[in-house]
Amino acid sequence: MNTELTVSAWPGLTPRLLRAEQGTETLAEYRAAGGYVAHDDPATLLDEIDRAGVLGRGGAAFPLAVKLTTVRSASLRGVDTVLVANGEEGEPASVKDRWLLRNRPHLVLDGLRLAARIIGARHAHVYLSDERAEGAVQAALAETTPDLLDGVTVSVRRVEAGYVAGEETAAVRAINGGPAKPTDKPPRPFEEGVGGLPTAVCNVETLANLPYVQRHGADEYRRIGTDGSPGTFLATLTGGGIAPGLYELPFGITAGEVIALHGIPAERVRGALMGGYFAGLLDRRVLDSTLDHEALRALGSGLGCGAVSVLTEECPVAVGASVLAYYDRENADQCGSCFNGTAAMAAAAEALRDGSADADDLARLERWSQVLRGRGACATLDAACNIAASMLALFADDVARHADNSCSVCAADLFTARRPFEVEAL
């Protein structure tokens, strides 16, 4: 199978985040395109970000203006603050942050310096796990001068890749010299983060939107997208035996349109893993759903980090079991509820996949998918619950076939990927 990444904007869309040219964008190229525009009024820019409705692209879709305002308020009281650009892309099925850091590091750094100015931070960190991304960012920093970054100094912190390493408290903990594992909350980073200071942890794609808002304003930013999900976003498409794709899309188009653009016929689609692994499985309703936060929430799903993995010939039960096994391996080994909960759900799902689960196993899996939510220091257990609950509710016929040990798909070709739909090539 071809594993070369396809990178493309939606037809007719002038990209805001992607660029057609291959390779890492240089400082000269970025400045020629209008980058690093001076600004002396952080309050006005913050108001534009608020009016633009910029949402976080790391998974939670939290309003960026609210996050920045909270940390800015500490700066206005005379407290030192810190900014973290989070590029540790823990979802195996997502590639957007690595692509931005490798190919458009100056766009990320431009957004970083704008956000840092808003919150009054004199120092910022780029947090990542990809070696090539680290090299691109370091090279970009070597090209810049202090005035280009408005006097903000920047450090780069690389950690070992891991699902939990990208969680915001894990980023803070790692930068502070500890392991890249989540901590209990409170305090949250905006209260006590890097060096004990109020810290804004922002996804790199989120920051990459800020230069556009600065140059074009809120109204132009909102010209594309929906009222609740304005602008464009980066989507990673995998599945169907086709090379992975990274697309810049306007919020509000249907998933079916994007899946068709990716080259997968609608009749082959059984469902999809949404938002990386976090939002769980969705059935064929994915084809008609619009890709925006409000529409997917209404379906009990989510857009998360923008990754959509399309299920075609794969059995949803086997895919669900593989993802749960991944969570069992990738949990931080810190919280008993998560350590034991992911292991128990993974074991039950694998027994179901293998045709050895009984009615009690199914009842326990369903119960665990509900009662274990909200436990632990991070959302890993919630993600596992989403997988189990969506598999049981939306693919009941497949579950029943596995309970009877009569799934012809798994009998012919059992899906056992350790990292389902992982994007390896760039």
Question: Residue 3 — pLDDT band, cuts 50, 70, 90?
Answer: low
Q: What span, in angstroms and rounded, lies between the C-alpha atoms of 136 and 109?
A: 11
234 in Cβ contact with 107 (< 8 Å): no
Give the residue carrying structure tokens 């602008």.
231
Helix, strand, coil percentages in the chain from 3-state DSSP, rounded to 5: 45, 15, 40
Residue 118: CB partners within 8 Å, gap ≥ 6?
42, 45, 46, 49, 68, 72
Note the pLDDT tens digit of each residue in 355-410: 999 999 999 999 999 999 988 888 899 999 999 999 999 999 999 999 999 999 99
Average pLDDT of the residues in 234-261: 97
The pTM assigned to this predicted structure is 0.96
Whole-number pLDDT of residue 425: 56
Q: What span, in angstroms and rounded, lies between the C-alpha atoms of 426 and 415?
A: 24
Residue 394: both structure tokens together: 């939306």
Residue 373: both structure tokens together: 């939510």
Q: What span, in angstroms and rounded, lies between the C-alpha atoms of 244 and 333?
A: 31
Concatenating the DSSP letter of every residue in 331-388 gives: S-S--HHHHHHHHHHHHHHHHHHTT---HHHHHHHHHHHHHTTT-SSSSHHHHHHHHH
* β pairing state of 281-282 and 307-311: unpaired
Structural domains in the chain, CATH included, are 20-221 (3.40.50.11540), 232-311 (3.10.20.600), 316-412 (1.20.1440.230)
Question: Residue 424 — pLDDT band, cuts 50, 70, 90?
Answer: confident
Note the pLDDT tens digit of each residue in 126-136: 999 999 999 99
Least Cα distance to 120 among 85, 149, 80 occurs for 80
Note the pLDDT tens digit of each residue in 40-71: 899 999 999 999 999 999 988 999 999 999 99
Whole-number pLDDT of residue 1: 43
Mean pLDDT of the chain: 96
Whole-number pLDDT of residue 377: 85
Residue 317: CB partners within 8 Å, gap ≥ 6?
349, 352, 353, 391, 395, 398, 399, 402, 407, 410
Whole-number pLDDT of residue 232: 98
Whole-number pLDDT of residue 416: 95
Q: What span, in angstroms and rounded, lies between the C-alpha atoms of 376 and 371?
A: 12
Look at residue 20 and tell me whether its pLDDT is greater than 70. Answer: yes
Q: What span, in angstroms and rounded, lies between the C-alpha atoms of 276 and 260?
A: 19
The terminus-to-terminus CA distance of the chain in angstroms comes to 15
